[in-house]
């Protein structure tokens, strides 16, 4: 079995808990001494660093939320002095201020190690050519995978996002065997590769990829693997904690292995915020155990998921993150029913008459929520086949109603109609918020 850091990745559960406890005790004191907003939270509940004696005491600590970061914009949440910071990243915001994260050199080195562990899970080694098609810049995706590939000694192609035809040329000419991008973009690349008549395994040498920054279904994974003949690994990260590499799944697909020597995970009830056991779905919460620049304790990510601690055949002993089903702030509430885009995607991928390119339009008419799902037909289906298209529409309407427990208008359009994204896919237009 291939590992990047076997002494950590296969550490016994007891050893891991001892390490996590040592690091949490040290981290809480560091944060209390150096991060004023979190010290105020602890003081408000009369909690002292000395009250935290092991990882089992983590539930005593108050949560951190994104608004805390925005209130402290730009540098109020930094624990390290400005002279020790070497990098600033920020996540985009549709409203309000950016959420800024500061990194010391040690933070960057740890992030690179975690990204390297993830790339190894996807099949990369020192002989690999890693094509990075995540965006570079304030978004953490591109630089995270870039430094991870360099850390393990692979060759990096810093393609960034955009210019799809050039991307395909570079993948073919440079013989890339690993690709890093969003799942929606790899589907787009697969479409374009097929249009160019290039053959996976012959013209395109890809054997694995790490895909993240969007929630995506197992059906989407199967589609990617079948069309390109690769191992498609789900990778997780967020700029506030660390970019991609916080967790990634291996070839056995038992869940994303969390690098829990650095990032301690919890799942809490969305309403009560009480911790939930393994297997139950709720909001994902992370505590950074080693971060210096902007450490965060019990940070509510807004991602909806569950954890599992079942043994993995790969031998890694870390707790695993099951697939993200959506974000609490991306969740649509349609006539009182919770709907995630990943649920819609799962239905579409089971129907060979349509492509996995879609857009959701939500509106409110006469005080009633409406939802339209615009879906591309498969290239094998002509829009002129009126009876067949209507049959497809009726079946999709029925399948969606069954899966979502709410009705939706299905609009079928010609291939290539739905706008493509070379970064994160923009799946939803909610006119109720406009």
Question: What confidence score (pLDDT) does residue 95 get?
Answer: 44
The answer on 169 and 75 residing in a single domain is yes
Task: Name residues whose C-beta falls within 8 Å of residue 107's C-beta, 6 or more positions apart in sequence.
Answer: 87, 242, 291, 292, 293
Write out pLDDT tens, residues 192-227.
999 999 999 999 999 999 999 887 889 899 999 999
The answer on 372 and 235 residing in a single domain is no
Single residue among 287, 313, 330 that ends a domain in this structure: 330
Q: What is the 8-class DSSP label of residue 57?
A: G
pTM of the predicted model as reported, rounded to 2 decimal places: 0.83
The answer on 197 and 86 residing in a single domain is yes
Distances (CA, A) of 340 to 304, 360, 361: 10, 11, 13
The answer on 424 and 298 residing in a single domain is no
Write out pLDDT tens, residues 67-116.
999 999 999 999 999 999 999 998 865 445 788 999 999 999 999 999 99
Write out pLDDT tens, residues 122-140.
999 999 999 999 999 888 9
The answer on 368 and 249 residing in a single domain is no
The answer on 379 and 272 residing in a single domain is no
Question: What confidence score (pLDDT) does residue 338 get?
Answer: 78
Single residue among 295, 330, 365 that ends a domain in this structure: 330
Residue 132 dihedral angles phi and psi, to the nearest 5°: -100, 110
The answer on 326 and 341 residing in a single domain is no
Total residue length of the chain: 434
The answer on 355 and 318 residing in a single domain is no
The answer on 133 and 99 residing in a single domain is yes
CATH value at residue 134: 3.40.50.12780
Write out pLDDT tens, residues 250-288.
999 999 999 999 999 999 999 899 999 999 999 999 999
Range of the domain at 132: 1-330
* Integer Cα distance of 353 and 346 in angstroms: 14
The answer on 226 and 348 residing in a single domain is no
If one counts the domains in the chain, the total is: 2
Single residue among 330, 353, 372 that ends a domain in this structure: 330
CATH value at residue 347: 3.30.300.30
CA 101, 232, 396, 355 dihedral sign is positive
């Amino acid at each position: 079995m291939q590992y990047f850091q076997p002494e950590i990745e296969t550490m016994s559960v007891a050893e891991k808990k001892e390490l996590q406890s040592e690091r949490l005790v040290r981290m809480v004191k560091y944060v209390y001494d150096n991060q004023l907003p979190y010290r105020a939270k602890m003081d408000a509940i009369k909690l002292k660093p000395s009250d935290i004696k092991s990882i089992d005491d983590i539930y005593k600590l108050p949560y951190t939320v994104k608004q805390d970061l925005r209130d402290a914009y730009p540098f109020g949440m930094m624990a390290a002095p400005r002279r020790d910071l070497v990098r600033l990243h920020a996540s985009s915001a549709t409203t309000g201020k950016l959420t800024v994260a500061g990194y010391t050199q040690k933070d960057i080195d740890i992030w690179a190690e975690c990204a390297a562990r993830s790339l190894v899970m996807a099949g990369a080694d020192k002989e690999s050519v890693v094509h990075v098609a995540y965006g570079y810049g304030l978004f953490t995706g591109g630089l995270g995978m870039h430094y991870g590939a360099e850390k393990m000694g692979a060759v990096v192609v810093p393609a960034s996002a955009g210019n799809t035809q050039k991307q395909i040329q570079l993948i073919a000419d440079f013989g890339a065997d690993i690709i890093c991008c969003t799942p929606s973009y790899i589907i787009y690349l697969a479409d374009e590769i097929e249009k160019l008549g290039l053959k996976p395994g012959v013209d395109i040498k890809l054997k694995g990829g790490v895909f993240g920054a969007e929630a995506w279904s197992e059906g989407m994974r199967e589609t990617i693997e079948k069309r390109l003949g690769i191992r498609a690994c789900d990778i997780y990260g967020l700029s506030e904690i660390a970019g991609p590499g916080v967790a990634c799944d291996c070839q056995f697909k038992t869940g994303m292995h969390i690098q829990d020597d650095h990032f301690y995970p919890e799942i809490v009830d969305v309403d009560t915020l009480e911790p939930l056991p393994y297997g139950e779905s709720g909001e994902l919460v992370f505590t950074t155990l080693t971060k210096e620049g902007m450490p965060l304790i019990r940070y509510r990510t807004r991602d909806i998921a569950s954890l599992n601690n079942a043994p993995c055949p790969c031998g890694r002993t870390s707790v695993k993150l099951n697939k993200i089903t959506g974000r609490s702030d991306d969740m649509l509430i349609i006539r009182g029913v919770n709907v995630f885009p990943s649920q819609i995607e799962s239905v579409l991928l089971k129907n060979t008459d349509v492509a996995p390119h879609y857009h959701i339009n939500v509106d409110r008419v006469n005080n009633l929520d409406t939802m339209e799902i615009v879906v591309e037909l498969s290239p094998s289906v002509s829009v002129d086949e009126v009876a067949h298209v209507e049959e497809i529409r009726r079946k999709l309407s029925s399948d969606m109603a069954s899966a979502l427990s709410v009705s939706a208008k299905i609009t079928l359009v010609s291939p290539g109609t739905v706008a493509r994204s070379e970064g994160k896919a923009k799946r939803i237009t909610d006119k109720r918020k406009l």
